[in-house]
């Protein structure tokens, strides 16, 4: 299994499609699912599962299969975001959690 965070954005969805073209469909896509229009980026993609980014850390820790790779492309990239707590949680702490998971496995 391969995890792609930010998998419904422009870069992430193109990565998912490229992995599909290479025969990979065991893809776990993670993104902010509150914007339903982003689903159209993956309408033709073949994926295993998906999760909202806030639900993913718990799902990651309970997976029975350790991912072969994690492409971490997800982040709050809103240049007008001024909520420092949100930015640190969503970008820094989230990335740290993924890093610690990878180091442990």
Distance, in Å, from the CA atom of 35 to the CA atom of 87, rounded to the nearest integer, reads: 18
Asked whether the predicted pLDDT for residue 7 surpasses 90, the reply is yes
| Torsion 39-45-50-54 (CA) sign | negative
70, 80, 99 from 24: Cα distances, Å: 14, 36, 23
Domain positions in the chain: 2-104
pLDDT tens-digit readout, 35-82: 889 899 999 999 999 999 999 999 998 998 999 999 999 988 888 888
Does domain 2-104 correspond to CATH entry 3.40.50.920?
Answer: no
User: pTM value?
Assistant: 0.92
pLDDT of residue 76: 86
């Amino acid at each position: 299994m391969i995890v792609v965070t930010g998998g419904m954005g422009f870069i992430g969805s193109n990565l998912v499609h490229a992995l599909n073209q290479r025969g990979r469909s065991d893809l776990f896509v993670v993104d902010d699912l509150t914007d339903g229009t982003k689903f159209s980026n993956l309408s033709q993609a073949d994926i295993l599962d998906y999760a909202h980014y806030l639900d993913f850390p718990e799902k990651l820790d309970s997976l029975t299969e350790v991912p072969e790779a994690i492409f971490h492309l997800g982040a709050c990239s809103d240049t007008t975001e001024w909520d420092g707590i949100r930015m640190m949680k969503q970008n820094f702490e989230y990335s740290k959690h993924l890093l610690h998971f990878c180091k442990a496995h």
